[in-house]
Structure 1
Amino acid sequence: MKYRLALGSVAAVGFARFSYGLVVPAMREELGWSLADAGLQTTANGDGYLIGAIVVALVVRRLGTARSFQLGMVVTTMSLAATAATSSYELQLLLRATAGVAGALVFVSGAVIAARRAATDRSAITVFFGGAGLGIALSGLVLPLLLDGNSARWPTAWLLLAAGSLLATIISWSAATSAPTASEHRAKLGRLWPVGIAYVLFGAGYIVYLTFLSTYLAGQHSNARQIAATWTLLGLAAILAPLVWNRAVTTWSGARSMATLIGLQVVAAVLPLLHHSRATVLASAAIFGLTFLNVPASVAALVRRTVPQQGWTATIGALTVLFAAGQTVSPWPAGFLADHLGASTALAWTAVLCGAGALTAFSWPTVFSWKAESRRSLESSASPEP
């Protein structure tokens, strides 16, 4: 059941969001886009994701968690198919945004379903988020070879992604239907606000790596087979990530797992900057794949440990709003800098923002413990002697 539910992540995240990074070099060549133009498309996807994250709690209250998941899957499939039908930049922006809205519905509602199932199967959360790795691996195996030397095939790439999304929708449909339900309360982040800030910084950093990885590799004269191998390795690593991180995500105290995972994103981004070779690029992709999908998994697990069940949807949705905000504002300026300073700037962008995110996550709940201790000391000093 958990593996069928994970197909939601395959379609809404692996196909609809991350596979764009594989198709964008062909679209740039065929449609005459700059890197800033390509980055703005990712920003549009982030805008849609932000909107979806804002409304998801309302949608869940109206339709239920399972129906919200299913609606997101259907809209995701339709938006991918429609992307193949137009070369209009403005319509592409609209379709990227639509895919973002649908992706948020799938991502948040699927995370809540997985969190509920974690009561009997601790790996349900990491398996759900790890599903996106299968989408990345399949896309990385097929799309670079399909588009090699023939950028005009970019619509075919989107049709293949739509077909894969349709299959995932059909298979995952009953997995969502059988999910248990619970009444929902409004979000109250409270002590989780440093986690939200770290999530913003992570969202702003990791999305740039995935958006411009293929562009960076092409600029380093990597051929289609090398690009395919890099993305396939990244996806396979993401598939294996739940086996590596499940215990840390579900049992480590505080936000230690989140901080560790984001910190490793920094290592992944810096490696090719220190020395460009096939070995360092593959190591970078492997580390990135092993970590990035488990960051949202760690957030969902943290919410499950610290928030009453009735608040899971709203709280995960609120944190996803912050995550989406980071994804929204980051790709265009990163693309602008890459246009003027080179594609490697995108990797530096990822390293800086993820580094800040890791430090912020590591501070939780230490900052609260320090404040509580300071408050107790002040109260003690202010109390009259007996």
Structure 2
Amino acid sequence: MGTKSAFNWITLWASLLFVVILGFSRLSYGIFLPGIQRGIGGSYSQLGMLGTVNFIGYLIGTLCLSPLISWFPNQKHVINRVSCLLLGLAMIGSAFSHQFIQLGLWRFVIGLLSAIATVLVLSIAMDAVRPAERGVASGLIWLGGSAGILVTGLFAPLTIDPSHLDGWRNAWMAMGVFGVIAAIGFDVVSGKRDRKLPSQVEPDPQERVNVYRLLLNPKKLLFLIGSYFFFGSGYIIYFTYLIPFLVSKGIPSLYAGLIWSAIGFAGLFNGWIGGRAIDRWPSGYTLAAGLTLGTIGVFGVATNHMILTAIGAVTIGLVSFVTPPLMTTALLRRHVPHHAYAASLSLATAFFAAGQIIGPIVGGVAVERYGLQTGVASSAIFMAIAAVLAGVYGQRQRQLNSQGLSQSG
């Protein structure tokens, strides 16, 4: 079956799955933290560590995916179906947590399953799209994460307000049910395509070595992968501790939820703008521009002014929340061999996950020693490093293109 335009049923259902994979399973934890703290106890630093546990699971899931596909090269759809369905069920299960360790185990499982689902949903959906429109398609899929943030922000009065002790539990159960429905919908529409397409990951061990050499070569993709790593550290600090910071300032739960929703609403445009931009200017410079603006947005917290904090949050949502993952996805698609794309995306996602493991640890230490404001603002350091590395990658791209032109001339 031939490829499709960026706007198709597979892309739509993939975007709905990303509402769950990114917005619900991963980032809803930040806005639910005040309610979770009242329900099971623990300091913000300790509960932030559960974010690290989640991304340890995410890292393990990412590392296991490549050999899993190699062992079952024609079962990519089956693996994705199982992981997406179990992800929805795990979210429902986590709503019944009454102890710190119990919730930690659920967060680990959710992280592991969401890693597998992230790579496979993107890989399956991109296979169905024309090469020239994959940046736009990637943007449409990633904006599902923004939609998830928007929706969780609307839950804020039920999850933050002390009068609703079990609000976060009810919200997670509803999100899990939505996840199961989205998983079934994506499997149905993607199943209409030939499921016997050749695997994008060669089982040949030598081919996997080449993938590592490609991504970790300073002259090729190393700086792009490094940028993705530091972005993972920076954005997760911001999204983990922003709502607790606002609550500590006495901001009403409705207003805190609206700020959170504003990030998601702005991110809806981010997906479209970022996808168009990376299709037109497929360069590390395009990525660096969004990360730089995001770094500036983080500093809104440092001003201690709620209006500037809100403007900064919207800026992050508009230019540097969805943009780095979707642009990295699109750039990898352009610069790695077709058969190695799933393995390359899996390895890149592993670095992203490693950054998300380190982020909550650093942010938690900053919160414990210097307070929530400094903890949130510390994410700007990682975002700035990510922007610099993306710029270096853009420079290397330009040098390689110039060398190629001079040789052909």
- TM-score, L = length of structure 1: 0.90
Task: Give 1:267's aligned residue.
Answer: 296
Task: Give 2:170's aligned residue.
Answer: 156
Residue 226 of structure 1 deviates from its aligned partner by 0.2
Task: Give 2:258's aligned residue.
Answer: 229
Residue 6 of structure 1 deviates from its aligned partner by 1.1
Amino acid at match of 2:253: A
Task: Give 1:144's aligned residue.
Answer: 157
Contact 1:134 1:236 in 2 (8 A): yes
Matched, 1:135 2:148: yes
Residue 143 of structure 1 deviates from its aligned partner by 3.8
Q: Deviations over 1:112-155 (max 9, x none)?
A: 12332342644211111111111111111124334412352132
Task: Give 1:111's aligned residue.
Answer: 122
Matched, 1:295 2:307: no
Separation in 2 of the partners of 1:367 and 1:312? 21
Q: Deviations over 1:177-202 (max 9, x none)?
A: 24563332333313111111111111
Amino acid at match of 1:301: A
Amino acid at match of 2:140: V
Contact 1:5 1:176 in 2 (8 A): no
- TM-score, L = length of structure 2: 0.86
Match of 2:182 among 158, 162, 168: 168
Q: Report matched runs for 1:1-386 at 5 Å.
A: 1=9, 2-61=11-70, 62=72, 64-119=75-130, 121-122=133-134, 123-150=136-163, 152-153=165-166, 154-178=168-192, 181-183=197-199, 184-185=201-202, 186=208, 187-188=211-212, 189=215, 190=217, 191-277=220-306, 279-290=307-318, 291-367=320-396
Amino acid at match of 1:182: P
Which deviates the most, 322-331 or 235-244? 235-244
Amino acid at match of 2:267: A
Residue 294 of structure 1 deviates from its aligned partner by 1.9
Amino acid at match of 1:26: G
Contact 1:110 1:128 in 2 (8 A): no
Identify unmatched segments of 5+ residues in structure 1: 375-386
Summarize the Cα distance change of 1:308–1:170 in structure 2 as closer, same or farther, 3 Å threshold.
Answer: same
Amino acid at match of 1:38: L
Contact 2:61 2:112 in 1 (8 A): yes
Which deviates the most, 200-209 or 177-186? 177-186
Q: Deviations over 1:66-106 (max 9, x none)?
A: 22322221121121111111212112111101111111111
Separation in 2 of the partners of 1:367 and 1:107? 28
Contact 2:285 2:391 in 1 (8 A): yes
Residue 245 of structure 1 deviates from its aligned partner by 1.8
Q: Deviations over 1:289-324 (max 9, x none)?
A: 222112111011101111111010000000100000
Amino acid at match of 1:364: Y
The alignment-based identity, stated in percent, is 24
Amino acid at match of 1:222: I
Which secondary structure state, in structure 2, belongs to the residue aligned with residue 138 of structure 1?
A: helix
Summarize the Cα distance change of 1:352–1:159 in structure 2 as closer, same or farther, 3 Å threshold.
Answer: same
Total equivalences in the alignment = 373
Contact 2:156 2:253 in 1 (8 A): no
The two structures, once aligned, show a CA RMSD in angstroms of 2.1
Summarize the Cα distance change of 1:232–1:369 in structure 2 as closer, same or farther, 3 Å threshold.
Answer: closer
Summarize the Cα distance change of 1:352–1:296 in structure 2 as closer, same or farther, 3 Å threshold.
Answer: same
Which secondary structure state, in structure 2, belongs to the residue aligned with residue 6 of structure 1?
A: helix
Separation in 2 of the partners of 1:373 and 1:231? 43
Task: Give 2:5's aligned residue.
Answer: none
Task: Give 2:6's aligned residue.
Answer: none
Contact 1:66 1:179 in 2 (8 A): no
Residue 242 of structure 1 deviates from its aligned partner by 2.2
Contact 1:113 1:179 in 2 (8 A): no
Separation in 2 of the partners of 1:289 and 1:178? 34
Separation in 2 of the partners of 1:341 and 1:347? 10
Amino acid at match of 1:134: A
Contact 1:29 1:151 in 2 (8 A): no
